[in-house]
Structure 1
Amino acid sequence: MAPKDTPETETPFWNVNIPASFHTAECPDFLQYAFENDKDRAILSTLDADYHRQTWPEVRQFILDNRLDMFQRVPSDLRRYREYNAKLTKDYGSVMQFVLQKRLGWADQKAKAAPFKDLTDIKILYNDWPYGFADRIIHLVIWTKFDLVSDPATDDLTAQARKEIDDFVDETIVSKCGKENVIWFKNWSSLKSIHAVEHFHVMLFEPDMEFVREITNGDVSLEEKIKKGIA
């Protein structure tokens, strides 16, 4: 079932999916934005139990149709995402600085070579805050020091940039997982949460987890660390 707004007679969106003892009369600062964001307010108003996790066929179709706006997080995950990003902004100045310092460890963002020619210009990690997909879908992010060139007129990748990504994904991931089990996308500029570090997203369906550990160098997402109390 698709997320829907909560009637005003029911629990306000900022108190949904949290114990009653943590309810507040006023909306916390990190969720104030949702008063102006209909999509996120509807998601936050939805019980986790009522949330529909997107399946592999749905994920593939959204990407093929360029409907990236259809991706959503599980309601409680969206709340944690917004709350923790507010904390990171306070502690590091921006989420981008946290990513650079703690996730990528890139003091120098200058590329050493042409796109995808030097592996030290690339890092493959878990998406720290994955969308609300079915459990068998793994969401990775491939970060690059080099530009992924877009056409300013369309906000879409140039044909050359798309081919470069296709070739890299085919060689690195598709060769191990199969074409039908891999799909990638690059967010529109309007949907990017981190603008200053180039990256694109790769979805894998039921991959060999040893292979995932290998290409991510044993990475663990920030969300998983928070759930385990180690972040």
Structure 2
Amino acid sequence: MVDTHGPSTNTPFWNINVPPSQHTTDCPSYLRYAFKNDKDRQILSTPDSEYRRQSWQEVQQIIHDNRLDLFLRVPSDLRRYREYCEKLVEQYGTVMSFVMKERLRWGDVVAKGKAFECPDDYTILYNDWPYGIDSRIVHLVIWNKVDHPSEPITSTNPNGDLTPEARKQINDFVDETFASVCGKENVIWFKNWSSLKSIHAIEHFHVMLFDPDREFVERITHGDVPLAEKVGKAGEIK
């Protein structure tokens, strides 16, 4: 039997971090997936006040160990993320369609050149729904029309890691674009495993910057603002 309650309360997980006046008897449709997802159900069962953000050192270790599954979102942010994704699917058909049309404003994903050669082939934006990490860490996503090929999935490479050439291309780009400004010790990047990708059809990887100059971030993202800062609170998202 699935435990639907928070760790120290009789309140069902879908009512945690929600004002009592907005509690519901039934689980909202956008959170029903959590009945079969132990990790997310545990997060959603945690009051925001008990959540501890992951430090820069922890973030670096998670990426170094390739344990991307250990990244977490603030409980109320996870709830808003799932609610917003459901509404995007209702309106656009898929999250990918929304990203292409509204965030990237790309008509196609046909590259004009090789990796990072043409500025029109890639875009740097905020991660719309960042993890629950130290608030000084800026989480960006580099969307690319050029594929970054991975090695075939095998017993020794179960996650399909990048080819050496692709990894070098990204490393060089990250060093030139971010580390040269923020300092190599304040920059780290990763690419989600296929099993963790929320958007499969558009090539992208993640860059995290520790306490960067905000004017630099504004310039490189062309003044982008993450969706998490635009949409309403849980239950108020439109």
TM-score when scaled to structure 2? Answer: 0.92
2:10 corresponds to: 10
Q: Tell me if structure 1 keeps the 8 A contact 2:129–2:226.
A: yes
Q: Tell me if structure 1 keeps the 8 A contact 2:88–2:98.
A: yes
- Letter of the 1:68 partner, please give it: L
Matches within 5 A, 1:2-151: 6-7=6-7, 10-151=10-151
Q: Tell me if structure 1 keeps the 8 A contact 2:100–2:107.
A: yes
Select 1:159's aligned residue among 153, 159, 164. 164
3-state SS of 1:160 partner? helix
- Letter of the 2:192 partner, please give it: N
Query: Structure 2 CA distance, aligned partners of 1:10 and 1:207?
Result: 42
Give the total of aligned pairs: 228
Post-superposition offset of 1:108: 1.7
Select 1:173's aligned residue among 167, 175, 178. 178
3-state SS of 1:217 partner? coil
Query: Structure 2 CA distance, aligned partners of 1:136 and 1:10?
Result: 35
Q: Tell me if structure 1 keeps the 8 A contact 2:143–2:203.
A: yes
Post-superposition offset of 1:230: 10
Which deviations, in whole Å up to 9, do the C-alpha atoms of 1:196-223 show, x marking residues without a partner?
1010000000000000001000000111
- Letter of the 2:83 partner, please give it: E
Post-superposition offset of 1:8: 8.8
Q: Which runs of 5+ in 1 are unaligned?
A: none
Runs of 4+ more than 3 Å apart = 227-231
TM-score when scaled to structure 1? Answer: 0.95
2:188 corresponds to: 183
- Letter of the 1:78 partner, please give it: L
3-state SS of 1:157 partner? coil
Counting aligned pairs with the same residue, the percent is 65
The two structures, once aligned, show a CA RMSD in angstroms of 1.8
Post-superposition offset of 1:6: 2.0
2:210 corresponds to: 205
Q: Tell me if structure 1 keeps the 8 A contact 2:16–2:45.
A: yes
2:227 corresponds to: 222
Q: Tell me if structure 1 keeps the 8 A contact 2:83–2:237.
A: no
Query: Structure 2 CA distance, aligned partners of 1:8 and 1:132?
Result: 21
Query: Structure 1 CA distance, aligned partners of 2:136 and 2:114?
Result: 34
Q: Tell me if structure 1 keeps the 8 A contact 2:84–2:237.
A: no
Post-superposition offset of 1:119: 1.1
Query: Structure 2 CA distance, aligned partners of 1:9 and 1:120?
Result: 52
